[in-house]
Amino acid sequence: MADKNFNAFQMAQTQFDNAADILSLDEPTRQLLREPLREYHFSIPVKMDDGTTKIFKGFRVQHNDASGPCKGGIRFHPQETVDTVKALAMWMTWKCAVVGIPLGGGKGGVICDPHNLSMREQEQICRGWVRQMARNVGPLNDVPAPDVMTSAQHMLWMLDEFETIKGAKYPGFITGKPVGLGGSLGRTEATGYGVVFTLREALKQLKIRPEDTTASIQGFGNVSQYALQLYTMLGGKVICVSCWDQKDKKAYSFRKKSGITFEELISITDKFGGIDKTKASKLGYEILDAEAWIEQDVDILIPAALENQVRADNAVKISNKVKIIAEGANGPTTPEADKIIKEKGIFLIPDFLANAGGVTCSYFEQVQSNMNYFWEKDEVLSKLDYIMTAAFNAVNELAKERNLYMRDAAYIISIRRVAQACKDRGWT
């Protein structure tokens, strides 16, 4: 394939190189961190339902474990390339490092299309994957999690196979398990709450009281629902929420200038985060265009839907009143929009940091599983608060100190942490 093709791993490396330049990282550390520590490629033979045997290709990439066991999902994907998996493993390293949890980065997968597989066949793939990898993974080496096309069910099959091979119970081997089978409480709230914990700290920095702020949120899935809940609990007022309308196949913004409460909005929302337009009208919501959420005269914008939602064309419409953008979604802002946001002097909490509540909660799941003792939800969430606050402050301080854009600061801090761990261990 031609070199100039889009390649996720090359992109991740370029990103790393830029940060490494800023950090003036030495060559051996650069070389170490530019590539994964270990890569496993293996074959998984599976007896199919029709009696034939098919061989599936499996991967596991352990990018870096200087800070602790690798952590990262297992993807089922029909045309998985090792380059994608390598890039994702590297990003996992930085993601764990930015919140300062003692885990490294990993990622794995199997080339397959679950649409063409029965559940039994998928179970065989999961068990086959573990049989091949059992000696190289485990609660103390590498901890898998659900990812594209894999779910709690797949994790339980893998856990069961692992425990069978090891002849003992190791609930900390894998995360993403259901509550009651080694899962953690608070997972549903974690990401949304995490966004607001960092938002709260950002407001503190800007010396604004949450009670005096208004916000507009894009999306009404898990993240935005709990962000809305916690933010209003802090005294803030959400006046606009946009959401996808499955029936009309388009999004709408729902505005209520007097303020939206979590309970009210959730009462007219279906389980996919779709808001009932008629009921909303009755409750006094204005129903506006999909893009209206970004144009509101608010202090805070929380894009918490999909990637590439804040673009050059709509970033110009952001009100001058907006002071903070907290990225609840993954990659909601395009590079062009980033420039506009910088020019406008808006304080940005990058996705990397803002939505790290999820990975932090996975870490908690693993900790609880390892000691086989499970916390109450409040305990999970208060520990989450502690970690998110600390992470925000570290990034923010670096940004101020070095006059860096928050996005760059977050990236640099995580690379520095990993590099430091490698050095401390005497690797480079």
Partner 1 sequence: MSPNTKNIHSLVHELEERAKELNCIYSIEDYLNDPVLLAEEKYIAVVNAIPGGFQFPEITRVRIVAGSRSYESENFSESRIFIKSDISVNDTEYGSITVYYTKETPQLDEGPFLKEEKKLLSSIADRLRNFIRHEESKTILHNLKEIKDISEEESEGSWRIVIEMLNKTDPVLYKTILRKLLHHLCWNDIKEAIDFLTSTSSETKTTEEKNPLEENKPIKRKILDTREYEETILSMTGKYMKDDEIIEKIQKWITDDKISNLVKAVENYNTSLQVISEILRKHYKIALEKNEVSTSIDKGLRVSLLRRFFTEQIDYITTAKEHVDLEDFYDLIDRIIFTPESHGKLGGKSAGLFLASNILKKSIKGNPLLKNVKVPKTWYIPSDGIIQFLQYNNLEEVIEQKYKEIEEIRREYHHIIQIFKNSSFPPEMVKGLSVALDDLGDKPLIVRSSSLLEDQVGAAFSGKYKSLFIANTGTKAERLNALMDAIAEVYASTFSPDPIEYRAERGLLDFHEEMGIMIQQVVGERIGDYFFPSFAGVAFSNNEFRWSPRIKREDGLIRMVAGLGTRAVDRLSDDYPVLIAPGQPNLRVNITFEDILRYSPQKIDVINLGRNEFQTMDAAELLGEIGEAYPGINNIISLAQENHLVTPIGFVHEDFHDDVVITFEGLVKNTEFIKRVNLILKILQEKTGAPVDIEFASDGIDFYMLQCRPQSKTRETAPDPSPRDIPADRILFSANKYISNGKVPEITHVVYVDPGSYYELESREELLDVGRAIGRLNKLLPKRQFILMGPGRWGSRGDIKLGVNVTYSDINNTAMLIEVARKKGNYVPDLSFGTHFFQDLVEASIRYLPLYPDDNGNAFNELFLMRSENIFKELMPEFPELGKVVKVIDVPKVKDGMILRVLVNADFDEAVAFFSVPSLTPERNYEESGVTETRPADHWKWRFKMAEQIARQVNPSLYGIKGMYVLGSTKNATAGPGSDIDLLVHIGHYGDRIEELKLWLEGWSLCLSEMNYIRTGYKTSGLLDVHFVTDADITNKTSWAAKINAVTDAAKPLQMKNP
Q: Interface with partner 1 includes 149 (CB under 8 A)?
A: yes
CA distances from 194 to 137, 220, 359 (A): 29, 16, 10
Closest C-alpha to 348, from 372, 328, 320 = 328
Q: Which of 27, 211, 263, 270 binds partner 1 (CB under 8 A)?
A: 270
3-state helix, strand, coil in the chain (%, to 5): 50, 20, 30
Query: Judged by CB under 8 A, which of 30, 60, 75, 237 binds partner 1?
Result: 75
Asked if 261 interacts with partner 1 (CB under 8 A), we say: no
Judged by CB under 8 A, the stretch of 22-30, 56-64, 80-88, 230-238 that binds partner 1 is 80-88
The Cα 329–Cα 404 span in angstroms is 22
343 touching partner 1, by CB under 8 A:
no
Binds partner 1 (CB under 8 A): choice among 30, 60, 77, 86: 77
Q: Which two tokens stand for residue 74?
A: 């297992």
Q: Which listed residue (27, 55, 115, 343) binds partner 1 by CB under 8 A? A: 115
In the list 14, 164, 246, 372, the residue contacting partner 1 (rule: CB under 8 A) is: 246
Report the catalytic residues.
Answer: 107
Q: How far is the CB of 128 from partner 1 (least distance, A)?
A: 18
Contact call for residues 89 and 106 (beta carbons, < 8 A): yes
Q: Work out how close the CB of 143 gets to partner 1 at its nearest, in angstroms, rounded to a whole number.
A: 17
What is the pairing mode between strands 142-146 and 214-218? unpaired
Q: Do 177 and 183 meet the contact criterion of CB atoms below 8 Å apart?
A: yes
- Farthest CA pair distance, the chain: 67
Q: Does 58 bind partner 1 (CB under 8 A)?
A: no
Size of the site for partner 1 (CB under 8 A): 46
User: Are the C-beta atoms of 56 and 110 separated by less than 8 Å?
Assistant: yes
Instruction: Name the 3-class secondary structure at 57.
Output: strand
Q: Contacting partner 1 (CB under 8 A), which of 78, 102, 259, 284?
A: 78
Minimal distance, residue 73 CB to partner 1, in Å? 11
The encoded tokens of residue 276 equal: 């009932």
CB of 14 to partner 1, least distance (A): 11
Would you count residue 53 as binding partner 1 (CB under 8 A)?
A: no
Q: What does the buried/exposed string (b/e) look like for 44-79 if buried means 16 or more CB atoms within 10 Å of the residue's CB?
A: bebeeeeeeeeebebbbbbbbbbbbbbbbbbbbbee
Residues composing the chain: 428
Is residue 114 part of the contact set for partner 1 (CB under 8 A)?
A: yes
Residue closer to partner 1, measured from CB, 179 or 404: 179
**Sign of the C-alpha dihedral computed for residues 306, 312, 316 and 317 taken in this order:** negative
One of 27, 51, 53, 116 touching partner 1 (CB under 8 A): 116
**The one among 2, 55, 168, 371 contacting partner 1 by CB under 8 A:** 2
Residue 183 engages partner 1 in binding (rule: CB under 8 A): yes
The minimum distance between CB 420 and partner 1, in angstroms, equals 30
Q: What are phi and psi of 48, to 5 degrees?
A: -80, 165
Q: Which stretch binds partner 1 (CB under 8 A): 33-41, 247-255, 256-264, 317-325?
A: 247-255
Q: Return the residues of window 207-236 that contact partner 1 according to CB under 8 A.
A: none
| Separation CA 110–CA 19 (nearest Å) | 31
Is residue 55 part of the contact set for partner 1 (CB under 8 A)? no
Q: Which range of residues in 59-67, 73-81, 132-140, 374-382 is near partner 1 by CB under 8 A?
A: 73-81
Nearer to partner 1, 79 or 320 (CB): 79
Does 334 help bind partner 1 (rule: CB under 8 A)?
Answer: yes
Verify binding: residue 145, partner 1, rule CB under 8 A: no
From CA 8, how far away is CA 317, in angstroms rounded? Answer: 31
Q: Counting Cβ atoms within 10 Å, is residue 313 exposed (0-12), middle (13-18) or buried (19+)?
A: exposed
Residue 318 interacting with partner 1 (CB under 8 A): no
Specify whether the CB–CB gap between 262 and 225 falls below 8 A. Answer: yes
Q: Among 51, 167, 335, 426, which residue interacts with partner 1 (rule: CB under 8 A)? A: 335
Tell me the helices (H) and strands (E) count for the chain, helix number first: 15, 12
Q: Is 263 in the site for partner 1 (CB under 8 A)?
A: no
Per DSSP (E only), the strands in 5-141 are: 38-47, 53-64, 70-77, 104-111
Determine, following the binding rule CB under 8 A, whether residue 47 of this chain makes contact with partner 1: no
Q: Which listed residue (166, 250, 339, 342) binds partner 1 by CB under 8 A?
A: 250
271 near partner 1, rule: CB under 8 A:
yes
Which tokens go with 60? Answer: 């596991």
6: how many CB neighbours lie within 10 A of its CB?
Answer: 6
Summarize as ranges the residues that interact with partner 1 (CB under 8 A). Answer: 1-2, 4-6, 8, 11, 49, 75, 77-81, 84, 113-121, 146, 148-149, 151-153, 176, 178-179, 183, 187-188, 246-247, 249-250, 270-272, 308, 334-335
